[in-house]
Structure 1
Amino acid sequence: MEVSGHGGSRVRVRLAPSPTGFVHIGNVLVALVDAAIARKFNGAFVIRIEDTDQKRFLEGAEQLIYDSLAWLGIEWQEGPDRGGPFAPYRQSERLPRYLEVAEQLVAQGDAYRCWCSPERLDEMRKAQQAAKLPPKYDRLCLGKSETERQAFGGYTERSVVRLRMPDTGHTTFTDPIRGEMSFENALLDDRVLLKSDGFPTYNLAVVVDDHEMEITHAIRGEEWLPSTPAHLRVYEALDWTPPVIAHTPLLLNADRGKISKRKHPWANMRWFQDEGFLPEAVLNYLGNLIAFVPDAENPQQGVARELFGFAEISEHFQLGSIGPSGKVVDL
């Protein structure tokens, strides 16, 4: 699959990690995909720090991100550490813009305020589970003022802002890695866009930032796939063109199960450094997970490379060749 920017514009990709702990190998794999695309098409690789979850913020975690990528020789062109034309690159420094967009969506009728307490929402979810209904907000607050909402009980003084999803139809998009994806709108939740503390959730901030930083390709892990319909709805409501959105496969352990920090210390990129691995060896291993090098005798099949530098990874990289199946890490 050929990669190009919207309307022939320069390709721009981003890594948007949260500084909440160690650097996960899955994030580094996405960073390698981003950097490979940027190099191959003479584009820009941006690092954007998603630090709006202040409860989980860990001092020093942001520097760990830079250090891990630099150790592997992965280069980026813009970010909090080096600036750029779309600064600031930390979400905590962009809060007024998120609030402005949230208020615009409410004014348009594409979002609404919700005053439901955590206790009421918990009771609602339990009732839905008992009735075998899809877990989604019941829209008790939709179309009501704060005063009207108080009459129903289960009320809190500080509201959140929820996205109003369509009641009918499907949300469909083409993922370069997974093909056409379709979600039934009636089953989708009205996700929170703005929290009661005034901080945005990922569902709002990622759309605003990707649009305003002119990101052409949003590459992220498979775990974000269920969030994509909400993001596309925000793009539609704001009359913005979404980027190409692709979801890389999960990394699995040797038993094809989920990676556990406790059982699999190599989930932490720092482990490779502490154990004496050469960065070239780690880069080679990750490169063989994502880049497709045709076999000379059978071009339809790939061949593993014993020496796979970043330049060669970029040369042979194609989003469509990654495939949606989980990638086994056997160390």
Structure 2
Amino acid sequence: PYHSPNIGSIIKKFIQNQSISEYTSQDVKDFASRIHPSLVTHKDELPWHKCVTISHGCENYCAYCIVPYVRGKLISFSSQQIIDYCKLLIDNGITEITLLGQNVNQYGQDSGDIPFYTLLESIAMLPGLYKLNFLTSHPKDFNIEILHVIKDNPVIARSIHLPLQSGSDTLLQAMNRQYTMNHYYSIIEAIHKLLPMASISTDLIVGFPGETQKDFEDTINAVRTIQFDEAFTYKYSPREGTKAFTLPDSVPDTVKQERLDMLIQTVREISQKRLMHHIHTTTDMIVERISKKSKNEVMGKTICNHPVIIKGGKEDIGKKYTVTIVSLKGSTLYGERSA
């Protein structure tokens, strides 16, 4: 859809004729915009929420990732177009926006446009916005100015997704992640200093080619040191077309599974302890849906993007409330509306 606004008709012709050629340009002027005003009326699953794509493509070439080969080079969309589009969304009832990019921290580096933290601040200051999220950050390009912007703008979620992938410098180099654990720790330290209650989530891979027991232990130790609120964990699987595909898949699947199980258990234990810290704190939330367990309760996300349950009904969906967290049941926070 970035290459042609007529992607639907192209697919239809292929189905009918089973043969069609289409030139896909990498020139910015040939890209179909994802921030066109006509898209304002296209509702997301949550009707008050809208995802806004700020850039396309990636040039990082992580060894396990196919994205740079299928999406092409980084292309940042015009900051003024993005800001104007966000204004239009808010004017049409959108109260929560999520900025999307394969690596939002690289925004503007290709075009000479404003840096991401300036774009983030400009959108956060738009009247009528309840909450502003962004995904995803790459550690090698993470600018500490982002944290200052978050601190100074209460509508920006105190929730940072920062993929680590491995706690081993050896594997980070093999993955072509282009940062070291010392660099990653320096970002975490800055987050804790400027945003002490922020939630930090990550992505982790076990069983990457060449991963030794020591490498895996380094990952476990990093998880315990950093204390992630959440982690998306994966067993490595080879992807044809990537650099890692040519490497021997040296870790047996049984070992991958054992390591994955241990990693998941470690993350769960830490996540539980992190959630406990939020009890007796006050936070804002946006109600998203009726609770699955009770029609007299509703579920929403806090400013740290933690799910929380409060008493309520259908009429509360989409509304913003200030709540006090009173308890934790399993991995779910429960709260009460503040007076």
- For the superposition of Structure 1 and Structure 2, which TM-score range results when normalised by the shorter chain? under 0.3
Which structure has more RCO (C-alpha within 8 Å, separation ≥ 6)? Answer: 1
Q: Normalization by structure 1: what TM-score?
A: 0.26
The structure where strand makes up a greater share of residues is 2
